[in-house]
Chains A and B, each alone.
Chain A
Amino acid sequence: MSLRNRELLNLIAVGLLTAIGFASVYIAGSEPSELDATSLTYAGIFMALYLAAHFVVRYAAPYADPVLLPLAALLSAIGVTLIYRLEPDDAFRQSLWIVIGVVLFSLTLLALRRDYRILEQYKYLFGITAILLMVLPALPGIGQTINGARLWVKVGSFQFQPGELAKIFLIIFLAGYLRDKREVLAQGRLKDFGPLFLIWGAAMLVLVQTNDLGSALLQFGIFLAMLYVATGRAAYALAGLALFVGGAAFVYRYVPHVQERVTIWLNPWTDDPVFCAQTGEFALRQDCGSFQLVKSLYSIGNGGFAGTGLGKGTFTTTGGDPIIPYLNTDFIYSAIAQELGLVGAAGLLLVFMLFVARGFRVALLADDGFSKLLAAGLTFGLALQTFIIVGGVLRVIPLTGITLPFVSYGGSSVVANFILLALLLLVSNRANMQAARGRT
């Protein structure tokens, strides 16, 4: 069977799953239990959308990996289903964003279908744009602080997180720059590291300006991973890690927001009241600074092995007030873990794992340095982002607000990840095409 037909079959399976998911949410919410056509409309629109994406791939990247698009579709379907269950209005907006994402995905594929490596020529443009985008939220007037972190830009009524797009531009820049300089970098001459130190400095600056450990960790982690892949020197990665830890420790000492996040992470529960900066009074930490994390853990624990079932979870008080804030975005994993249980949450993580494994496979199969670095960077970025937010929610690392790729509610995130997917498919298409030509 051809790669594209396999992709089509996978997509049909995903479409069925989506329909079942929407149906169960709808049935759980209705009394008496019944199914309504409107709930299935979502699944229908969804299916049509991905079929369109599929045909674009058929035309623009016929040799591309047949699993990545269905996996992304599955993740976004899980996301929309959950968002539909939590905030039906947001689900509509998220669907619109997915439409925009798929359009940009298609445009990227179509524009770069002959040779995406043209991007390499504009690497510095991407690098500079990435830094500009990162600094954007820190600018007064358009920057917005939400949930303690300054990640948002607001122009008029249009609101977005430039960090998501900056991540991809950064990866393109690094792939181009590192392919160019990998030999000299491997020699270890200090002056060649100039631009890299610049990036490190920028990441730290972003951390201080935006109060956000998560984004800084993500950008810097991607940078170190790509540096390692390019030079093969693990020492660089370790030295970079040391630099980051050193920088973070410095920031920890002088930035109260970061300090609080770490304290919350280490001791979310207290037996005695502690000073609560938010209210200025004394309270148990679980009622104050760490209530988001603690409630999220309660949500996860409540799910148990099999979960409560879609639509049957508890996210509001009996009076209807929300218990967990940012449930749609930062804490969507806690919602999934409660309603689908360990089975569903582990299943979701396996989908991510599969995506990551396929992404690295693309990097392995690619036959030039830029493509390898690009694919490895994009894939690792997605893996690290997943780790940072889910790890934060699970108290593996300090919690920082960042989206769960393809799943969380949020336009910038959805759009950026669809572009990421398009780039991965392009790399994969070229690699498989070369291999096919080599065989014949």
Chain B
Amino acid sequence: MNKQITRLALTGVGMIVALVVATTYWQAWAAGDLADRQDNQIERVAQFTIDRGEIRGNGVVWARNRAEKKGGRTFYFRVYPQRGLAAHVVGYSTQERFRTGLERSMNDYLTGQNANLSTVLETFVDKAKGATIKGNALRLTLVPRAQRAAQNALGRRCGAVVALEPDTGKVLAMYSSPTYNPNLVEENFDQVTSVTAECRRPDALLNRATAGLYAPGSIFKVVTASAAIDAGRFQPDSEFVDPGYCEVYGKRVNNYDTTRPFGRLDLHTALVNSVNSVFCNIGKELGARFLVEYMKRFGFYALPPLETPADERAPSGIYKGTKLFDPAADTDVDPGRLAFGQERLLVTPLQMAMVAATIANDGVVMKPQVIDRIVAPDGKVLVRSKPEVLDRAIKPATARAVGAMMKDAVAEGTGTAAQISGFTVAGKTGTAETGIAGLNTTWFIAYAGKNRPQVAIAAVVEQQNSTGGQTAAPVARDVLQAILGSTANS
């Protein structure tokens, strides 16, 4: 019988070896995937025992901890002192609703799980001593005054504002309305989700600044003009005749105001006064694929980089249903309507702020960054954000030419409401039809500064019955003023 017993013994030992292998699989190989699952309640609770890193910047605390002792353990719950002021960027970290925003995407740093050698060492020592693990703190680039200006300017209207520093890509303002109070997410989620504002999508958690997709309307003419001039096909003084409409595929496309055709005019004047027919003809001349190529240079058709979670951002471009559509042939898309920002074009405020910043930055697209630096518990800076070039979209001369048109648009054209005394403001208005008569998506993109461009901005206001010049331009102006004012003081 000994032969059989030996074999049975091997089977028995083999079964236990299999268990060791399976345990190793779950604890080493699959542990990361398990930890990342949203329904992993143990991981969520365990993370509350970590002294999570604070999120602050420019004099305010965006997120701090409230230590609470329960059952012999200390839990660190999040408190958001600024409530809804930058809720969509900062996000929340809760037990029941998981995490969003930077709280989610930067969780590894905030909980000291990042792979930087010094953090790994410190966490290991803390763990071995049984001490509380301390996370790393974030310092944001957001300017609190600008956030407050955006909040006040938008009021109960739905929309978003994104402001960037043109030469660095720093996000100076990012506000989405309606906002929500992240302190209520854990305890009173119903109050967070019940939105009374009349939005196109009544979702308070949606970050409209990075994931809100809107028809751009006339602000897109900045891209069209850039493409036309950059390729050398048109000049600011190229002559056009405006009959008040433009014919595309045998159909008339009207100007915003058809009663006053401009007659003979040049490209510069056409942008200053936002004449659809001129851009329609340019679009027909350039073709849809050519325009799409230039859009890509500005960052369209790609997820705009930012430190927030990827699924809280959306790429801009032509959409077919819910999917991005890259036309294979010029005939796939109506180039005339595309050129002045209609067709099936959908853009995010972040992308349009990047367009404005690119014009302000001599045609170079900078990577938007909302985190200035990451600081270890001992005060040492772990990561410091450096300005990063994404792409050169257009030549410096093109940028200057388009910038000159935008300046005149504010000085004497459609965007006069954005004027700020003592500063040069260059901007472009946009009023996109939503398909419902009398309800427009209104836009304003701009950059401003004293001697050089200091800030670029995009503001969108949903469901308005007037124009971008009347609704969005004042919002942008308030935020610009807040930023320019605070930089002037500093």
- Name A24's closest neighbour in chain B (CB-CB): B130
A-B contact pairs, 24 of them (CB 8 A): A30-B72, A31-B72, A225-B8, A284-B39, A298-B42, A300-B26, A301-B40, A302-B35, A303-B27, A304-B31, A314-B42, A315-B42, A320-B71, A342-B24, A342-B27, A345-B23, A346-B23, A349-B20, A356-B16, A360-B8, A372-B2, A384-B12, A391-B19, A394-B25
User: Which chain B positions have C-beta within 8 A of A320?
Assistant: 70-71
Q: How many contacts A-B (CB < 8 Å)? A: 168
Cβ–Cβ contact A380 & B16, under 8 A: no
The binding surface of chain B is classed by DSSP as helix
Given known contacts A318-B45, A349-B16, A372-B5, A286 and B39 CB-to-CB distance under 8 angstroms: yes
Cβ–Cβ contact A301 & B9, under 8 A: no
Q: Which of A58-66, A143-151, A196-204, A227-235 lies at the interface?
A: A227-235
A323 to B246, CA, bound (A): 66
Residues of A within 8 Å of B, CB-based: how many?
A: 68
Partner of A318, one of B13, B23, B95: B95
Residue B82, interface by CB 8 Å: no
- Interface set, chain A 209-253, CB cutoff 8 A to B: 225, 228-230, 232
Cβ–Cβ contact A317 & B71, under 8 A: no
A38 to B71, CA, bound (A): 19
Cβ–Cβ contact A312 & B130, under 8 A: yes
Cβ–Cβ contact A341 & B27, under 8 A: yes
* Of A27, A301, A337, A360, most B-chain CB atoms within 10 Å: A301
Interface 1/0 per residue, B42-77 and A, CB below 8 Å: 110110110000000000000000001111100101
- Name A387's closest neighbour in chain B (CB-CB): B15
Residue B30, interface by CB 8 Å: yes
Residue A103, interface by CB 8 Å: no
Shortest Cβ-Cβ A-B pairs, 4 listed: A301-B34, A360-B9, A383-B12, A394-B22
- Interface set, chain A 271-304, CB cutoff 8 A to B: 284, 286-287, 294-295, 297-304
The binding surface of chain A is classed by DSSP as helix
Residues of chain B having any CB pair with chain A under 8 Å: 1-9, 11-13, 15-20, 22-28, 30-31, 34-35, 37, 39-43, 45-46, 48-49, 68-72, 75, 77, 95, 127, 130
Partner of A295, one of B1, B9, B22, B41: B41
Whole-angstrom distance from the CB of B98 to the nearest CB of chain A?
Answer: 13
Cβ–Cβ contact A346 & B20, under 8 A: yes
User: Which chain A positions have C-beta within 8 A of B19?
Assistant: 349, 386-387, 390-391, 394, 396
Partner of A297, one of B17, B34, B72: B34
- Interface set, chain A 333-367, CB cutoff 8 A to B: 337-338, 341-342, 345-346, 349-350, 352-353, 356-357, 360, 363-364
User: Which chain A positions have C-beta within 8 A of B1?
Assistant: 229-230, 232, 369, 372-373
Interface 1/0 per residue, A315-327 and B, CB below 8 Å: 1111110010000
Supplied contacts A304-B31, A360-B9, 17 more A-B pairs, CB within 8 Å: A31-B72, A229-B8, A230-B1, A284-B39, A294-B39, A295-B41, A295-B42, A298-B34, A298-B42, A301-B40, A302-B42, A314-B42, A346-B24, A349-B23, A357-B13, A372-B5, A396-B19
